[in-house]
Every structure is written in C-alpha cells, then in structure tokens.
C-alpha cells in the first residue's frame, strides 16, 4: 500500500523532500560544530550566548510576517529571499571569527531559516493536493529526522576528516560548516529553479477570509494543543541529557548512541504514522501516541535500571514525535492556501514561547522538587494536550455530526 502511494509522488515532491532533508542535515551539523568553531575562534562564552540568542531573535521576528509577505510577493520570491538570508548568514558564521559578524550572521540565518520553515509545510500540502497528505508529511518527516541523525554523526566525523587536508583548530571546523551548508543549498537551488507558484498559492486579500470563525477557531485549537506540549517539553526535554548522565550515570558516549538510535526509531515511526493516519485519522493517532508517551514519561521518572530507562526513552520519543509532522499539516490543511503560512507561523509561535518559558523555569523547579517534579509537570501538560485533542476534534466533531443528522431528519 505504501509503495503504491509513494509511486504517486512527483519528481518535484521528491526534490522538495530531499531539500528539506538537506536543510535538516545542515542544521544538525551546525548544532554540533558551530559552538566549537566559535570557541576555537576565541569567542567568549558570554558572547556565544549573545550569538545564539540573535539566531533565535531573527527566527522569532520572521515567523509571523512570512505568511503576509508570501501572499503579497508569492511563495517563490519569498523563499528566494529567505534562502538568500539563510545562505548569507550561514556563510558569515562559517567564514568569519568576529563576535559582531557572527552575531549578525546568526540573526540573518535565523530569519532565513524561519521563512523557509513557515513555507515548507504549505508547499508540501500544495504538492500533495491529489495524494494522501498524511503519508507525504510522514515521509518528509522521516527523511528529515534521518538526515538530522546523519548530520549529528557527520558533525563529529567531518572535522577529523578535514584535519587531514588543513591545519589549525579553526579551519577543519570551518570546512565542516561549509560542507554542511553546501549540502543544504545545492538541492534548494535546484528546487527553487523548478518551483513555480501555482493557482493554489496566489496573492489574495487576507482580511475577508481571516474573519471566518471556522478558520480562526481551527488555529486557536491547534495553538492550545501545541502550546501545552511546548510548555511541558521545555520543562524536561532540554535537560534529559543531565538526567541520564548525572542521575543514571550514563557516559556521554552512551547517551550520544542512545540519541542516535532514538532518531532512527523516530524516523521509522514517522514512516509508520502515514498508513496509520490513513486508517484511523490524525486525532485518533495523536491521542494514542501522546497518551503512550505520557505514560512512558511517568515511568521514566521512577526507573533506575539503566537499560530499562534507555528503552523507555527511545519508545517515549518515538511515540511523541512520530505523528507530529502529519498532525501539523492536518491542523492547517483546511485553511485557504493563502492563509496556511500565516497559520503555521502562529502554531510555531504558540509552541516556541511556552517552550522558552518552560525551559527558563525548569532550573528553579528542579532545585525545589528535582526531576520527578518536572517530569510530573510535563506529563500533566501532555495529558492536557491529549484531552484537548479529544475535546476539540473528537467530541466536537461528534456533536457536529449529531447536529447535521438531526437537521437532515427534520
């Protein structure tokens, strides 16, 4: 069945999947190598914090305006602008060593990356109009997760390889960053050359359709769901490395291997999510997977046997993340095409702001109640999000169907 549907993927759709995977690989390499590169170039820890903050600020500023700009300029021209910003910023961060240039590069790269991210899922939906959208987003999500895992590995391998051809502490890291950037830009340039705005992505007037309550309600529901997940994730996920290394006494190598295996498991789970969603629907799969992930997180807080904790970690991450790409696309697919980038941008903000709040508060909470308290709070947030899926998209849809049946009978 899956092979049958994959056969309907056009060459342009496969190129978009490769482009998204290339971007994921590039970002993963940068996440592993850039801090080391900046430190080797003499950047202080305080300045490095400012550089990384500039990337987040650039991303945050660009997210919401992207949809509006795309409606005025068209998606292709907006993507080209985003690509120029990302490439320019990443080049600055790969070829310069001054704090100011690295900060400015981070801001540009963050803004350009956000523009591309906001438009990617709407373009996937555009290409998947006559195909199973859940399967398309699942395949794309699996490719991006796998590419991210490969990028993390390459981030550790390539500097040693480049060290055979160049000398010094900075140059091998610089060439590693440039290699990763090339892996992202080559497929992106080919895709942009072939991509044309379709009738599904015209410039339209926003005020009239945006006042339609059904569309605003859909985004409001989605924002509530992803916001509670973001808050819970921020409390715990950034600090799971500390939990395994400090509390369970894992070595750094063991934890790195666990993360790599988990990425592969998530990629396989994301592929499996497509057929499951086709059979049972997005709300049912999200309720099931988030429910399983919540139970496993509770178990993780109490397990002390190392191998069991590792198995729970792998299964929890797989359950939590496997249907997320398809769910995100599903939350915006009913919007008019011109509103999908704006809707996706709102969902990103709705996730990132609570994540930042949870991440900032986690240290204070752990100082008071330890990891068990943050795990409990994260589990509560996931449970609330699961309930919202039931209330908004199962119970609500059941009521609508009952009303329609009563009206038909009358």
Q: Residues 289-301: pLDDT tens digits?
A: 999 999 999 999 8
Distance, CA of 73 to CA of 97 (rounded, Å): 35
Q: Look at residue 399 and tell me whether its pLDDT is greater than 50.
A: no
% pLDDT > 90, the chain = 29
Distance, CA of 320 to CA of 288 (rounded, Å): 10
Are 378 and 239 in contact by the 8 Å Cβ rule? The answer is no
- What pLDDT, in 10s, does the model give residues 337-395? 778 888 888 898 898 888 888 887 888 888 888 888 999 999 999 999 999 999 988 75
Q: What is the pLDDT of residue 232?
A: 93
Distance, CA of 242 to CA of 316 (rounded, Å): 17
Q: What is the pLDDT of residue 214?
A: 65
Q: How confident is the model at residue 7 (pLDDT cuts 50, 70, 90)?
A: low
Tell me the domains of the chain and their CATH numbers: 1-196 (1.20.1250.20), 213-410 (1.20.1250.20)
Distance, CA of 207 to CA of 230 (rounded, Å): 29
- What pLDDT, in 10s, does the model give residues 249-261? 877 667 777 888 8
Q: Output the six-digit token pair for 253.
A: 């190598």
Are 231 and 355 in contact by the 8 Å Cβ rule? The answer is yes
Element (DSSP H or E) covering residue 220? helix 213-236
Q: Look at residue 403 and tell me whether its pLDDT is greater than 80.
A: no
Highest mean pLDDT among 55-64, 102-111, 128-137 belongs to: 102-111
Q: Look at residue 91 and tell me whether its pLDDT is greater than 90.
A: yes
pLDDT mean across residues, the chain: 83
Q: What is the pLDDT of residue 409?
A: 42
Q: How confident is the model at residue 136 (pLDDT cuts 50, 70, 90)?
A: confident
Nearest to 374 by CA among 250, 248, 240, 255: 240
Q: How confident is the model at residue 209 (pLDDT cuts 50, 70, 90)?
A: very low
Q: What is the pLDDT of residue 395?
A: 58
Residues 6+ apart with CB under 8 A from 306: 248, 249, 250
Average pLDDT over residues 124-153: 80
% pLDDT > 70, the chain = 88
Average pLDDT over residues 385-408: 64
Q: What is the pLDDT of residue 292?
A: 95
Q: What is the pLDDT of residue 200?
A: 46
Average pLDDT over residues 168-174: 88
Whole-structure pTM value? 0.75
Three-state secondary structure readout of the chain? CHHHHHCCCCHHHHHHHHHHHHHHHHHHHHHHHHHHHHHHCCCCHHHHHHHHHHHHHHHHHHHHHHHHHHHHHCHHHHHHHHHHHHHHHHHHHHHCCCHHHHHHHHHHHHHHHHHHHHHHHHHHHHHCCCCCHHHHHHHHHHHHHHHHHHHHHHHHHHHHHHCCCCCCCCHHHHHHHHHHHHHHHHHHHHHHHHCCCCCCCCCCCCHHHHCCHHHHHHHHHHHHHHHHHHHHHHHHHHHHHHHHHHHCCCCHHHHHHHHHHHHHHHHHHHHHHHHHHHHHCHHHHHHHHHHHHHHHHHHHCCCCCHHHHHHHHHHHHHHHHCCHHHHHHHHHCCCCHHHHHHHHHHHHHHHHHHHHHHHHHHHHHHHHHHHHHHHHHHHHHHHHHHHHHHHHHHHHHHHHHHHHHHHHHC
Q: Look at residue 204 and tell me whether its pLDDT is greater than 60.
A: no
Element (DSSP H or E) covering residue 177? helix 171-194
Q: Look at residue 33 and tell me whether its pLDDT is greater than 60.
A: yes
From 131-145, 261-275, 307-321, the region with the lowest mean pLDDT: 131-145
Average pLDDT over residues 314-339: 87
Angle at 341 between CA 113 and CA 338, to 5 degrees: 145
- What pLDDT, in 10s, does the model give residues 144-159? 888 888 888 888 888 8
Average pLDDT over residues 241-248: 80
């Amino acid at each position: 069945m899956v092979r049958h549907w994959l056969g309907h993927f056009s060459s342009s759709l496969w190129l978009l999947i490769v482009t998204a995977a290339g971007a994921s690989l590039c970002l993963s390499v940068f996440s592993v190598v850039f801090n080391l590169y900046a430190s080797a170039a003499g950047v202080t820890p305080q300045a490095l914090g400012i550089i990384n903050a500039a990337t987040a600020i650039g991303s945050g500023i660009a997210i919401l305006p992207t949809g509006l700009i795309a409606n005025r300029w068209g998606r292709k021209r907006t993507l080209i602008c985003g690509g120029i910003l990302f490439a320019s910023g990443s080049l600055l961060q790969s070829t310069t060593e001054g704090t100011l240039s690295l900060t400015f590069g981070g801001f540009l790269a963050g803004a350009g990356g956000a523009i591309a991210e906001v438009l990617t899922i709407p373009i996937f939906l555009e290409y998947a109009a006559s195909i199973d959208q859940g399967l398309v987003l699942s395949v794309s999500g699996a490719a991006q997760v796998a590419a991210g895992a490969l990028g993390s590995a390459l981030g550790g391998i390539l500097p040693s390889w480049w060290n055979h051809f160049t000398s010094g502490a900075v140059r091998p890291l610089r060439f590693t960053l440039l290699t990763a950037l090339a892996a992202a830009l080559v497929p992106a340039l080919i895709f942009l050359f072939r991509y044309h705005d379709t009738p599904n992505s015209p410039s339209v007037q926003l005020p009239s359709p945006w006042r339609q309550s059904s569309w605003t309600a859909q985004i409001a529901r989605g924002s509530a769901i992803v916001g509670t997940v973001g808050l819970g994730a921020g409390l715990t996920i950034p600090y799971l490395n500390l939990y395994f290394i400090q509390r369970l006494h894992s070595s750094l190598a063991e934890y790195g291997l666990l993360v790599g295996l988990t990425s592969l498991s998530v990629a396989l789970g994301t592929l499996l999510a497509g057929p499951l969603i086709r059979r049972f629907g997005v709300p049912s799969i999200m309720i099931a997977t988030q429910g399983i992930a919540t139970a496993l997180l509770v178990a993780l807080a109490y397990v002390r046997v190392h191998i069991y904790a590792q198995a729970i970690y792998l299964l929890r991450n797989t359950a939590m993340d496997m249907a997320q790409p398809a769910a995100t696309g599903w939350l915006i697919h009913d919007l008019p095409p011109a509103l999908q980038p704006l809707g996706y941008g709102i969902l990103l903000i709705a996730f990132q702001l609570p994540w930042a709040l949870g991440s900032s508060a986690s240290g204070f909470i752990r100082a008071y109640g330890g990891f068990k308290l943050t795990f409990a709070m994260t589990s509560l947030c996931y449970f609330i999000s699961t309930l919202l899926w039931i209330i908004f998209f199962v119970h609500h849809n059941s009521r609508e169907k009952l009303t329609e049946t009563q009206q038909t009978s009358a």
